[in-house]
Amino acid sequence: MLAQLQVANEGLPLPSAEATGDELFRLGLLYSTGQGGAPLDYVSAHMLFNLAAMRGSVEAKVYRKELSEEMASDEVAEAQRQAREWLAHG
């Protein structure tokens, strides 16, 4: 089951601080494909895969690496910044 979502200032849904690596990974999949009502957003997907990897998801590490190869370096930097911000406020 996906964690209860909180709406960020930007209007994007973010997972709760209690989200597991698997939940974060599944949410990242939605953003990386634009499915399940999530917008197609590689920055958010990378951020979620990064957080999922930090919480033990091996699959997220693979997807994060593949996705980063499709992104510009400034997009990857923004995803990393958003992950740090989420951790700070989580």
pTM tops 0.75, yes or no: yes
Task: Choose among 64, 56, 69, 66: nearest CA to 80.
Answer: 64
Q: For the chain, how many helices (H) and strands (E)?
A: 4, 2
- Contact between 5 and 14 under an 8 Å Cβ cutoff? The reply is yes
- The crossing angle, in degrees rounded to 10, of helices 21-33 and 58-68 is 30
Q: What is the pLDDT of residues 39-90, one digit of tens each?
A: 899 999 999 999 999 999 999 999 999 999 999 999 999 999 999 999 998 6
